[in-house]
Amino acid sequence: MAAPVVDPRAAAADTPTRRGTEAALLAFAVLITVVAQMIVDLTVTGALRPEMAGFSVWITALWVVAHLVVRKWASYADPLLLPAVALLVGLGLAVIHRLDLAAGQVGSTVTREDAPVQLIWATLGVALFVAVLVVVRDHRTLSRFAYTLALLGIVLLALPAFLPASISEVNGAKIWIRVAGFSIQPGEFAKICLVVFFAAYLVDKRDVLALASKKVAGLELPRGRDLGPVLLAWVLSILVLVFERDLGSSLLLFGIFVVMLYVATERASWLFIGLTLFAGGALISYQIFGHVRARVDTWLDPFAYIDGAGYQLVQSLFGLGTGGLFGAGLGGGRPDQVPIAKSDFIAAAVGEELGLFGLVAVIVVYLILVERGLRSSLVVRDAFGKLLAAGLAFAVAWQVFVVLGGVTGLLPLTGLTTPFLAYGGSSLVANFVLVALLMRISDAARRPATPHATPQRLGDAPTEVVRP
């Protein structure tokens, strides 16, 4: 680290754990989850489901268990992370259930029921969340498995490309493994493995990577031989793009890597190199790959392709526009007219039924999640933890930005999932693991230093106000 990190709370041995705050916020999230389900049923069918009671108990139990585990095994963790996740998952369940009810309606694109399955996935997600917190007592142990995880990540990422299309291809993207009725998107797990690896690797090499060799146009460029890892990451992203036709994952991985590299080395030149490589890659892919070109053309003028590639985006915009400020109310709109509304385009469903206010609220909840993660990264003392938290938090931010930007026409569509909100087991479970890691790091960040911690340097101590 560049400067010794000071723990401003070293003196405060009685740091509040803030678990009470978390419990209260979780209760609120549960309330929203249950009420949203009820509103959907009342609006669409006019009556409550008998399963409602069971659902409420299930959801409550889920977060009570998660909360108790945090109390015991990560008692100083940030109190906002878990409620933010609970709120997003709960809202997602309500919207997916609402879309389930639209099956068979005129013009509906919904063909099957997914909410019960999503609840199972959420349960599995919480189970993994618990497992991570119980097993990983200190996040630093993860750095020992960096290369194993890297290999696992690359295998997971590359697997669908080598499997036959019948197993791995859905809607033109070869990013799936479909076994016995289950679809897994290994890329979601690869994302976490690779972030852990990046963090460990960069902490190791950051001094070397930060060495400048020559200045070009005001930028200190690193030595050519140190460009290796960046180029490797870039090539990997491009390969994903080519063999799996997955624009989203490619963009996600490369973005995360460049930002982590920048944070590790504190050199803006890496950002510049990253952007240059990205721009070059983007330009070349636009020239070479029809599917990339189609995406970009559609993004520029979706209405020109309203009956083809632009249909989905235009329907999404119609939904958002029709929703307006306050939305049509849960169950009051026609979000089912947007193809794949449960996963890729769930934000359009939120915007249509909960309006601008609902959608902005969701964006703000994501923002809280991300900024709290980055805050842990700022405060935590070890370099690996810092970088890992930064990578994980930025991964969520970048993914949310790319997806929401895509469905609202700000960016070309990429086909990533909306974390926690969208239907999809892999995404949900993987992101629970991601949040568990963030919780573990934030716990380490806020935990009061042991009495034998490194003594502070006097010069860094806060000036005391002398009271008469």
Question: Stretches 101-109, 150-158, 174-182, 284-292: which one binds other proteins (CB under 8 A)?
Answer: 101-109
Whether the Cβ atoms of residue 26 and residue 83 lie closer than 8 Å to each other: yes
Name which position in 47, 180, 325, 458 contacts other proteins (CB under 8 A).
Answer: 325
Chain positions 104 to 163 lying near other proteins, rule: CB under 8 A, are 104-107
Nearest to 71 by CA among 61, 79, 60: 79
Give yes or no for residue 259 binding other proteins (CB under 8 A): yes
Number of residues in contact with other proteins, rule: CB under 8 A? 53
Give yes or no for residue 383 binding other proteins (CB under 8 A): yes
Name which position in 83, 281, 351, 424 contacts other proteins (CB under 8 A).
Answer: 351
Q: Tell me if residue 367 falls in helix, strand or coil.
A: helix
Question: Stretches 117-125, 278-286, 364-372, 452-460: which one binds other proteins (CB under 8 A)?
Answer: 364-372
Give yes or no for residue 64 binding other proteins (CB under 8 A): no
Q: Per-residue DSSP letters for 52-63? A: HHHHHHHHHHHH
Whether the Cβ atoms of residue 167 and residue 468 lie closer than 8 Å to each other: no
Cα 389 from Cα 175, distance rounded (Å): 26
Give yes or no for residue 363 binding other proteins (CB under 8 A): yes
Q: Which is nearer to other proteins, 121 or 345 (CB)?
A: 345
Cα 112 from Cα 445, distance rounded (Å): 44
Give yes or no for residue 394 binding other proteins (CB under 8 A): yes
**Least distance (Å) between residue 267 CB and other proteins:** 9
Question: Stretches 117-125, 163-171, 389-397, 437-445: which one binds other proteins (CB under 8 A)?
Answer: 389-397
Give yes or no for residue 98 binding other proteins (CB under 8 A): no
Q: Which is nearer to other proteins, 133 or 317 (CB)?
A: 317
CA distances to 46, 339, 370, 407 from 344, rounded to whole Å, are 28, 9, 20, 8
**Least distance (Å) between residue 266 CB and other proteins:** 5
Q: Which is nearer to other proteins, 325 or 465 (CB)?
A: 325
Cα 194 from Cα 395, distance rounded (Å): 11
Give yes or no for residue 323 binding other proteins (CB under 8 A): yes
Give yes or no for residue 272 binding other proteins (CB under 8 A): no
Give yes or no for residue 4 binding other proteins (CB under 8 A): no
**Least distance (Å) between residue 395 CB and other proteins:** 11
In terms of Cβ atoms closer than 10 Å to its own Cβ (0-12, 13-18, 19+), residue 19 is middle
- Token duo for residue 333: 């709109």
Cα 305 from Cα 171, distance rounded (Å): 18
Give yes or no for residue 309 binding other proteins (CB under 8 A): no
* Number of alpha helices (DSSP H) and beta strands (DSSP E) in the chain: 15, 6
Give yes or no for residue 397 binding other proteins (CB under 8 A): yes
Whether the Cβ atoms of residue 443 and residue 375 lie closer than 8 Å to each other: no
Name which position in 199, 247, 387, 416 contacts other proteins (CB under 8 A).
Answer: 387
Cα 357 from Cα 355, distance rounded (Å): 5
The set of residues, in sequence order, having a beta carbon less than 8 Å from that of 32 and lying 6+ positions away, is 87, 90, 91
Give yes or no for residue 314 binding other proteins (CB under 8 A): yes
Give yes or no for residue 428 binding other proteins (CB under 8 A): no
Q: Which is nearer to other proteins, 343 or 377 (CB)?
A: 377
**Least distance (Å) between residue 352 CB and other proteins:** 8
Give yes or no for residue 194 binding other proteins (CB under 8 A): no
**Least distance (Å) between residue 323 CB and other proteins:** 6
Q: Tell me if residue 399 falls in helix, strand or coil.
A: helix
Give yes or no for residue 355 binding other proteins (CB under 8 A): yes
Cα 297 from Cα 344, distance rounded (Å): 19
Question: Stretches 164-172, 182-190, 234-242, 380-388: which one binds other proteins (CB under 8 A)?
Answer: 380-388
**Least distance (Å) between residue 29 CB and other proteins:** 20
CA distances to 79, 80, 294, 302, 372 from 368, rounded to whole Å, are 11, 8, 34, 32, 6
Whether the Cβ atoms of residue 362 and residue 350 lie closer than 8 Å to each other: yes
Quickly count: other Cβ atoms within 10 Å of residue 329's Cβ: 16
- The residue ranges that bind other proteins (CB under 8 A) are 1-2, 104-107, 259, 262-264, 266, 306, 314, 317-325, 333-334, 337, 351, 355-356, 359-360, 363-364, 366-367, 370-371, 374-375, 377-378, 383, 386-387, 390, 394, 397, 400-401, 404-405, 408-410
